[in-house]
């Protein structure tokens, strides 16, 4: 069966090298200057390797960064909303510049790739943060990452990946874009909707994914398992929640679980576009964007983004440019009066919402209490209770 959707930019990029070329680069890397990557950069590199970040072939140069920040466009006009940047303080970069090569390593010093430097440029961390995230507040985890872990010198250029990341978890669910595309074809899915999540799936999420599934051939539950902030539910716990939920409450023939190796940026509307374009590379034709997609709250508990900013931002682009259809969902909850799930769009005027605050939910789980089944499935609650007790 032919692929039903083209990768972003038309070609699925592959920056992994093998055979004699790999061996030559590994030998060369021993003598090259080295840059140790942070966890979020390791995720970026691995996604560059397999084409998840197509059409990017490496870390952005100045023109790519500026186009992304100013207009959410690459120099060739393609939509791109979040920077993929490698930047360090000047004293860590030295005189590395155009025509040079740098070995990129993980935290243990293992060589992962060679960066073929095309340019060294000034990286304005404050400007990057402000334009990418709409704030300079270091309480925002994306801003804190830029100001705390990057630097004022950017290195742009293509990468040649000599060693893919050796993950110790979820390996049976780590499918590259070429693999998900092949799986969709094997299953006979011509239309596929992806659901992005960094949290356990509660009843409202279950409802909207099933509504979306009514319209397409298959559902890809695609949780983000890269770097997240410390108070997010750990990926291992979330994966157990997804598995028990899919086993008991979803049709096996039309649902697939695979992981998304990206680091979370908490970029709200810009990250919603980024998530959609990446899923397009995985062969997905439709993407779910709910209320406050990829949002995050400040120290006072106020969101950095409006409730529907992540949906409204898609109106800036023509559907044919995006190349992936967006399902926009209202806030959804269980209504006592109608006895079912409703949204702001479908709820009667006298709806009675069954809701539990995040604080109350955590208190119940810590005590070993099962929340109302209208909020979360009991099997999911049991996984969370077990995890909290272990912690």
Q: Is 68 a catalytic residue?
A: no
- In angstroms, the CA 22 to CA 376 distance is 48
Contacts of 175 (CB under 8 A, 6+ apart): 183, 258
Separation of CA 148 from chain center: 21
Beta-bridge partners for 58? 158
H or E stretch covering 66? helix 62-71
Q: Which residues of 131-140 are buried (b: 16+ CB within 10 A; e: fewer)?
A: bbbbbeeeeb
Burial class (CB in 10 A: 0-12, 13-18, 19+), 194: buried
- In angstroms, the CA 292 to CA 366 distance is 27
Cα four-point dihedral sign 89, 92, 94, 99: negative
Q: Is the preceding peptide bond at 328 cis, omega within 30 degrees of 0?
A: no
Contacts of 316 (CB under 8 A, 6+ apart): 72
H or E stretch covering 361? helix 358-366
- In angstroms, the CA 141 to CA 198 distance is 15
Among candidate residues 11, 110, 199, 248, the one labeled active-site is 199
- In angstroms, the CA 79 to CA 102 distance is 29
Q: Is 198 a catalytic residue?
A: yes
3-state SS assignment for residue 52: coil
3-state SS assignment for residue 382: helix
Among candidate residues 15, 198, 203, 270, the one labeled active-site is 198
Among candidate residues 68, 197, 228, 332, the one labeled active-site is 197
Question: CB of 58 within 8 A of CB of 44?
Answer: no
Beta-bridge partners for 289? 328
Question: CB of 324 within 8 A of CB of 287?
Answer: yes
Q: Is 197 a catalytic residue?
A: yes
- In angstroms, the CA 256 to CA 73 distance is 32
Residues annotated catalytic, as ranges: 197-199
């Amino acid at each position: 069966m032919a692929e039903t959707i083209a990768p972003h930019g038309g070609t699925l990029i592959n920056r992994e090298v093998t055979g004699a070329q790999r061996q030559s680069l590994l030998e060369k890397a021993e003598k090259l200057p080295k840059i140790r990557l942070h966890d979020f950069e390791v995720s970026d590199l691995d996604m560059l390797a397999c084409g998840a970040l197509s059409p990017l072939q490496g870390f952005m140069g100045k023109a790519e960064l500026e186009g992304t920040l100013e207009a959410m466009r690459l120099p060739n006009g393609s939509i791109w909303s979040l920077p993929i940047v490698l930047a360090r303080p000047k004293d860590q970069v030295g005189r590395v510049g155009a025509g040079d090569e740098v070995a990129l390593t993980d935290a243990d010093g293992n060589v992962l790739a060679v960066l073929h430097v095309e340019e060294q440029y000034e990286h304005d961390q404050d400007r990057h943060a402000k334009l990418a995230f709409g704030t300079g507040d270091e309480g925002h985890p994306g801003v804190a990452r830029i100001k705390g872990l990057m630097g004022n010198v950017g290195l742009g250029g293509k990468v040649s990946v000599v060693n893919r990341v050796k993950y110790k978890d979820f390996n049976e669910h780590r499918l590259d874009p070429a693999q998900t595309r092949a799986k969709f074809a094997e299953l006979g899915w011509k239309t596929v909707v992806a659901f992005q999540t960094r949290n356990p799936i509660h009843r409202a999420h279950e409802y909207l994914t099933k509504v979306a599934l009514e319209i397409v051939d298959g559902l890809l539950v695609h949780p983000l398992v890269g770097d997240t902030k410390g108070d997010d539910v750990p990926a291992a716990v979330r994966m157990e929640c997804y598995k028990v939920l899919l086993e008991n409450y979803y049709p096996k023939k039309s649902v697939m679980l695979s992981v998304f190796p990206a680091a979370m940026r908490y970029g709200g509307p810009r990250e919603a576009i980024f998530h959609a374009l990446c899923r397009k590379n995985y062969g997905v034709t439709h993407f779910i964007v709910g209320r406050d997609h990829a949002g995050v709250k400040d120290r006072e508990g106020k969101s950095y983004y409006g409730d529907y900013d992540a949906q409204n931002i898609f109106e800036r682009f023509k559907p044919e440019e995006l190349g992936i259809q967006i399902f926009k969902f209202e806030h959804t909850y269980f209504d006592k009066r109608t006895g079912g799930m409703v949204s702001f769009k479908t709820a009667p005027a006298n709806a009675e919402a069954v809701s539990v605050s995040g604080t109350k939910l955590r208190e119940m789980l810590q005590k070993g209490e099962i929340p109302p089944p209208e909020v979360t499935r009991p099997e999911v609650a049991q996984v969370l209770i077990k995890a909290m007790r272990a912690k």
